[in-house]
Structure 1
Amino acid sequence: MGSHISEEEIKSAVKSILQGADLSALSERNVREILSEKFGDAVRTKDVKNLITEEIQDYLASVADVEEAHNNNEDVVRSSQVPLQRRDTGKRKAEASDGPVPLAKVARSTNSAQEATFDLSNRCQVTVRAFRGNPLIDLREFYHKDGELAPGKKGIALTKEQWGVVKSKAAEISEALETGTDDYEVELSAQRKLRVRLVGKNYCVDLREFYQKDGEDAPGKKGINLKPEQWEALVNAAADIDAELQVLDASAKAKPKQKDSTGRDEVAAAPSAAVLSGEAEITAQGSNALPVILSSNRRADVSNYKGSTFINIREYYEKEGEMLPGSKGIALSPQQFKILQAAAGDVSAALASRNMDFKVALSSKEMYEKDGKQLPGKKGISLVAEQWQNLIKGLPALQAALP
């Protein structure tokens, strides 16, 4: 690490980039390029590259944990967050105890995301699933609710790399657990550790996320304690977990294209309903080329609201198998769209040359003045280079759909 740049500065910068980005379109290379603008060639060293990779993987796993915990709090079961095949026949009935059970693989989900779940005990499971295209090994506890088991907050989703570290140290971990070596510790990433520690009267395997407090690592709330029998069940399931990871990898590389009603390849399903500015229904018009797919969760389309036509560039989210519009986005009038079309070449040139001073005034709205400066408001959307290029390709289709 260079003397002029600290590890914490890199971590903070990576997190800042990821928090405001479309994770489905952003690559690690994009992150490094953005960082190089701020820190220069220091980010090109091997140590910094490795740190960036770790931070990205940790952030993806953290986002997956947060979304799953959010769903658990609302008692909502969604295919991409709560991968329990048992939901097809109702939640799992609660057993009388949390003792060891024979390791049993739950049948893979029939949802769009391939998932496989293994019991570690009556109230603890490990699930192999994908989140935004990244494979995760999700360890989670369950709790009793209305005589059934529901996913709880205690848990952690490991990246494939972190799972690899756990596997490579499995024999040592088992020995430390058996001998009661409570100072045994394995670093899974810059922010995650596996420890063997005493909980009550029994030793357990603790997989946990840490944070900095007074210059020292302190354990956070995100994590799980595995009892010896749960750890043993996890070790026994390792080969099957690896097999499921291979299935996910193969599926990601060879995912077949879906066909629409005319037999043509379909990029993504169009939303059945949409909301403009949070309240008005959007009706897609015109061409079969619409909506223009900018990324897996971003689209551009032509919509109508109270007799007025808009070009809507918006981020979507999935709910119950449908893509619904989120709050992040902007609706352009035909005149604003015309200005954007005319300036498209200049925008692309500025993007390629990284001209941070380039601006195009579409209207006087959506910005506000403070201390003599024009600042961006809440309404709007930021596109990465790939999304902008996809929008450029879709401009003719959007223009053709205008009345």
Structure 2
Amino acid sequence: MGARRTVYIAGAGIAGLTLALALAKFGLHVVVLERNASISEFGAGLQISANARKVLDSLGLSEAIAARSFAPEGIDIFPDGREKPLQTLTLGKAINARFGAPYAVMHRADLVDALHAAAKRFANIDIVFSVADFALERSGNGLTVSAQEPDGKIRKAKPFAFVGADGVRSATRTRYLGGPAARYTGKVAWRALVAPEALSDVLDLERTSLLLNPRFHLVVYPLPHRNAANLALFTQEKENDLSVLDQRSPRLKSSKDRRLTRILDSVGEGWTPWVLSSVETPLWHDGPIGLIGDAAHAMLPFQAQGAAMGIEDAAVLAPLLAASPTAEHAFSRFASLRQDRVKRVQQVSARNGRIFHMGFPFSVARNAIIRAEGPQGHFRRLDWLYGYDAIQSGES
């Protein structure tokens, strides 16, 4: 028997920790390099669709996620200030029955905490926090990783592979693979958490709500584990005028929409703005260095699949790194299995953004289609997305 394979991962976020768990279950030694001093996850709410949940359940996280998440009964769609939903898309038991796993919402930090807790139970996972920087040096087919640890010492290793799960501003992508910088999409996400009581008489908090408007769209769903409702408001902002980010509230003109006014009043200046950037690059790997998650394919969140794609990536890549003769072979196979699917999800997400912000008269046609598709029309439209089996794909 040869020495156990070691894989280094940059980033202890959702994609990085999921990959660490998946690799550890195959018996590999995993070292995760994290620049923060502890587990930290920006943002607030997170939607976990069936395609991602099946991966997480396979890693033993079913109970932890069930305890900290909520499964909405449906999605209420309110275009242009309508008092009653134009349509309520079915979720709940129906989506579980069709795709083999529930559709749930939870706080991003709760998912990262669950992943971290699971990782700590593996002796073959080592998470190093407060890593100031790392360096990669290629020599033939070999790789040397150097990382500065919190005490100032330099850790050096010659791993089988190095995986950049270091997010949208990935140093792995830009510094070591020569990939592009992230691109501003023209949109800003405004996130907030409010007490459920503040919205109980304007929205049904057993469901997710989607408010559509030509100038913005707003997603609201409950996070009972946090005793909060999550709000994600998306506005369009010109790149040369991002002074709005210095404020604590978005620039929205006064509205006759009673529901929207109540929601905005409940937050006040409690919004946190986040610039939305995307990453599009055909180069996901070179030799023993590869990318997963946002580092490879950050996308607009308008199909709520950014984290899910990183989770899928981990499930596909782990068995390849465990079984392939070289890391380059594993990464090459991984890219061939994932790139077309991820590109399709990116395109759907971008198209949804355009659909959500349609103005008159195009919004009339949009609304007619939403009404005609019925409560389960999204099942047929998204079978390819939610019905995907990442575990089987990686093992094929």
Q: TM-score range by the shorter chain?
A: under 0.3
Using the size of structure 2 for normalisation, the TM-score is 0.24
Q: Structure with the greater relative contact order (CA < 8 A, sep ≥ 6): 1 or 2?
A: 2
Using the size of structure 1 for normalisation, the TM-score is 0.24
